Amino acid sequence: MPLRFSNTPRFSNTHRRSRRAIVAAAAAGALVLSAVGATVAYAQEDEPTDLIVNGDFADGTAPWWATENLTDQTVSGGEWCLDVPGETENAWDAIVGQNDLPLVAGESYELRFNARASAPLSVRTLIQRDVDPWPTAVEEFSVLDTEAQTFSYTFTASEDWSDAQLAFQIGRNAEPWQFCLSEVSLFTDAEPPVYDPDTGPRVRVNQVGYLSDGPKRATLVTEATEPVAWELGDSGGEVVATGETAVVGADDSSGESVHTIDFSEVTAAGEGFTLTADGETSYPFAIGGDLYSDLAVDAMSFYYPQRSGVAIDEAIAPGYGRDAGHVDVEPNLGDGAVPCFEDACDYTLDVTGGWYDAGDHGKYVVNGGISVAQLMSVYERAINAPTGDPDRLADGSLRIPEHGDGVPDVLDEARWEMEFLLSMQVPAGEELAGMAHHKIHDESWTGLPLMPADDPQPRYLYPPSTAATLNLAATAAQCARLFEPFDAEFAAQCASAAETAWAAALEHPDLYAPDTSPDGGGPYGDSNVTDEFYWAAAELFITTGEQSYADQLAASELHDGYEFGPGGFSWGDVTGVAKINLATVPNALPDRDMIVEQVVAGAEVYLGEQESSPWDLGYGSNGTFDWGSNSAVLNALTVVGAAYDLTGDRRYRDGVLVGLDYILGRNALGNSYVTGYGSHTSENQHSRWYANQLDPSLPNPPAGTLAGGPNTVTSTWDPVAQRWLTGCAPQWCYIDDIGSWSTNELTVNWNAPLAQVASFAAEQVAVAQSPSCEVEYRINGSWTDGFNAQVVVVNTGDEPLEDLTLRWAMPTGQSVASSWSAEVVQDGHLVTVSKLGGGYPLQPGQQYTFGFTGDKDARAAVKPASVTCTAG
């Protein structure tokens, strides 16, 4: 019979305290010597007790119990076997257990049992109270095989419970099967569980790699108090660089003693480099120029299999094909005509589509809102930033079905969610017309695993909120300006929804989503919507140029003196999104310079935090890592990236690059939080359909999926985190277990900043800007509906510039009408200029001037965010 501990090898196998062994030895008369008397007395007082009655089934099945659907049972040879009917929906539709187990706070216990199944499958093993809301001390998914295995789970009780229950939830299977249980014990006096994950080599590196012309740093975990030597080896084992570590010493964030290694000087390129120091050799990594384009593509392609309302095509997402979720096909009740919770309205809405929020089947407007905004910003940055490269986002760039439509794929993916957000708006004629419902989700929480198409729950629209409405206004406004060249009708629909939502929010400024939710979904509560008003006004201003929105911005308490806080922004605090867009997307806000300064000041704060962290971590120096901390790390990096786009100061670019190290493995756990990116990566993110940990026939999450990350807010912890992470140093408050939703979920809003930062990093090598080409873009005059611009290009270098091409994104509301002295062509947002000076090379010191007239709407003509100059 194989002995199998749950979760091995990541955890040390746990054994009851040695005291128990002493008791056994004493009983056998093996203990002699004088000092032993006291030990034996002590041991006798604490003799471990088995709380389970009749765990060997010697007396039949009493006091065990089983749900009524488990009628066929046998006890034979100390084993209890039960026939489990098929076609139950939930794990808890068939349960066996034992009640009245007394647990004492602070005491540690070991639950041990043997179990087998007639076919391999997982069951849910719980130590809990059978009282709503079922407080849980152990929640484990035991993966059973046809041969009996031993399972052992240790835990420490956090409260006194006189009525704890051991329950095996064995429902949820389509086919009938047999469950067999034997040798069940729950001993007191166990060794407390020790979290002992595989942290790999003590030399912690970015397991993907380092850009040739970027910062290259690593962190060594060591008790050494003096610098130690390091060596960088290439894939052939040749030493290509050496140096000495810098001693840092005790580090609160990891709870460990560390040194740092800086090998930024190295410019060699290739795969399979390793760093060796203090007798440890790091995981391999690359050094090169184009290390992040795959990550950028995967982080964005993550969204396709999160789509609701459509079958996922195996050919497009290999390994992830599945039936459409929440269309009106049984057992789904479908999202085609969803009523309001508790009959709060007398209409239904068709809210089919959109993305599932996370590992659950809920769809939440505020979280979908910030996610779709950040995806749209991947595109908006690509067309506006000096290092932006929209070609990387072209039609065909992602693994999605909408190829050949001429629309950049990232916008196609965003549209999938945008259309869902639009559908959540209360129809005209209803009491709260124009407001957006806060969310739609199941009536009750479902168990894991559960494919979207198999969810049988009724689903409801939850009450409209001001926050959701302003999310709709902000994202629909951004949608309007970005889709304008690709689908004017859809852009107009977005524009109109944005304005309607804005007006509705002004009318109902304080419909707050509560912090607690009915069962079946997350609350996404938010009772401060000042930031949402600011964001919506910002996006509407950028898109329409209307003064009323500028007035709203100026009147907001968030306008002057704003300072970025830890982690930049989040679904509940969206001011930072507004600030970045106001600063980087062309617009005529009178005090836009002030906003630029706020963004740059925010970036400085994060750089400062990175500098004082031996992990170059720009987050968590106050000891707090929030739920989804990895997204906070990345959101802060988008602020730093914006500062680079605005100033061109390479310190910010390097800050973004070095900031990715932590996410990709240079951290206390030696873990890359992105599935498939590194030697040791998260792969058991909490999800109902990427539930490979529970059912080997299901996949792990796709490559490019970000895990939530360390969470120090213990009040929100799940049972798995409670069991394993108590007392953790901040960076250790994470476990790659599917049950740990508070540290290891995946969500649409966490992958969005990964997509942004990975795209930024990928673009750092994308654009072969000609360094000796200087461009001055002047608006020489403007009238009500037009302007003229003159552009001067100078060769400041020593070599002639041939085949000069300029490119910029036309600010919203402007377009090229006619041009002279060059060919000026506008395609979508992008203007491309060629044949300057008749197409002759631009000689050193020489300048070319060309010009054009443009059409514009009522607002002032503004310059593009940047002009890219390339030479052949």
Measured from the CB atom, is 545 or 701 closer to ligand 9MR? 701
Measured from the CB atom, is 179 or 627 closer to ligand 9MR? 627
Residue 92 CB, shortest distance to ligand 9MR, in Å, is: 20
Rounded Cα gap, residues 846 and 143, in angstroms:
73
Measured from the CB atom, is 526 or 645 closer to ligand 9MR? 526
Residue 468 CB, shortest distance to ligand 9MR, in Å, is: 14
Cβ neighbours of residue 723 closer than 8 Å, sequence gap 6 or more: 137, 138, 155, 156, 193
Measured from the CB atom, is 357 or 683 closer to ligand 9MR? 357
Residue 686 CB, shortest distance to ligand 9MR, in Å, is: 7
How does DSSP classify residue 50? B
Measured from the CB atom, is 177 or 627 closer to ligand 9MR? 627
Residue 573 CB, shortest distance to ligand 9MR, in Å, is: 10
Residue by residue, DSSP assigns 642-665 as HHHHHH--HHHHHHHHHHHHHHBT
Cβ neighbours of residue 29 closer than 8 Å, sequence gap 6 or more: none
Residue 677 CB, shortest distance to ligand 9MR, in Å, is: 21
Q: Which of 357, 380, 531, 736 is catalytic?
A: 736
> How far from the centroid of its chain's Cα atoms is residue 172's Cα?
28
Pairing of strands 459-465, 246-251: unpaired
Burial code of 259-284, b = ≥16 C-beta within 10 A, e = fewer?
A: bbbebeebeebeeebbbbbbebebbb
Q: How far is CA 634 from CA 325, 374, 475, 758, in A?
A: 30, 12, 20, 10
Measured from the CB atom, is 242 or 716 closer to ligand 9MR? 716
Exposed, middle or buried by CB within 10 Å (0-12, 13-18, 19+), for 817? middle
Sign of the Cα torsion 675, 680, 686, 687 reads positive
132 annotated active-site: no
How does DSSP classify residue 493? H
Residue 708 CB, shortest distance to ligand 9MR, in Å, is: 6
Measured from the CB atom, is 182 or 747 closer to ligand 9MR? 747
Closest C-alpha among 151, 186, 181, 185 to residue 76: 181
Binding site residues, ligand 9MR, CB under 6 A: 357-358, 360, 362, 522-523, 627-628, 716, 741, 745, 747
Rounded Cα gap, residues 620 and 618, in angstroms:
7
Which residue of this chain has its Cβ atom nearest to ligand 9MR in the complex? 522
How does DSSP classify residue 448? S
Q: Which of 326, 438, 680, 686 is catalytic?
A: 686
Measured from the CB atom, is 571 or 760 closer to ligand 9MR? 571
Count of alpha carbons within 13 angstroms of residue 26, beta-carbon side: 18
Phi then psi for 119, rounded to 5 degrees? Answer: -145, 150
Measured from the CB atom, is 135 or 590 closer to ligand 9MR? 135
Residue 438 CB, shortest distance to ligand 9MR, in Å, is: 12
Measured from the CB atom, is 523 or 565 closer to ligand 9MR? 523
Residue 628 CB, shortest distance to ligand 9MR, in Å, is: 5
Report yes or no: 205 and 666 within 8 Å, Cβ to Cβ: yes
Q: Which of 256, 380, 419, 745 is catalytic?
A: 745
745 annotated active-site: yes
Q: Which element (helix H / strand E) includes 722?
A: helix 719-725
Report yes or no: 11 and 195 within 8 Å, Cβ to Cβ: yes
Residue 358 CB, shortest distance to ligand 9MR, in Å, is: 3
Residue 435 CB, shortest distance to ligand 9MR, in Å, is: 21
Residue 609 CB, shortest distance to ligand 9MR, in Å, is: 21
Q: How far is CA 236 from CA 31, 231, 240, in A?
A: 57, 14, 10
Helix (H, G, I), strand (E, B) or coil at 502: helix
| 110, 114, 117, 121 alpha-carbon torsion, rounded to 10° | 30
What would the 3-class secondary structure string for 327-361 be?
CCCCCCCCCCCECEHHHCCCCCECCCCCECCCCCC
Measured from the CB atom, is 354 or 864 closer to ligand 9MR? 354
Amino acid at 651: R
- Judge if the upstream peptide bond of residue 590 is cis by omega within 30 degrees of 0: no
Q: Which residues are catalytic?
A: 686, 736, 745
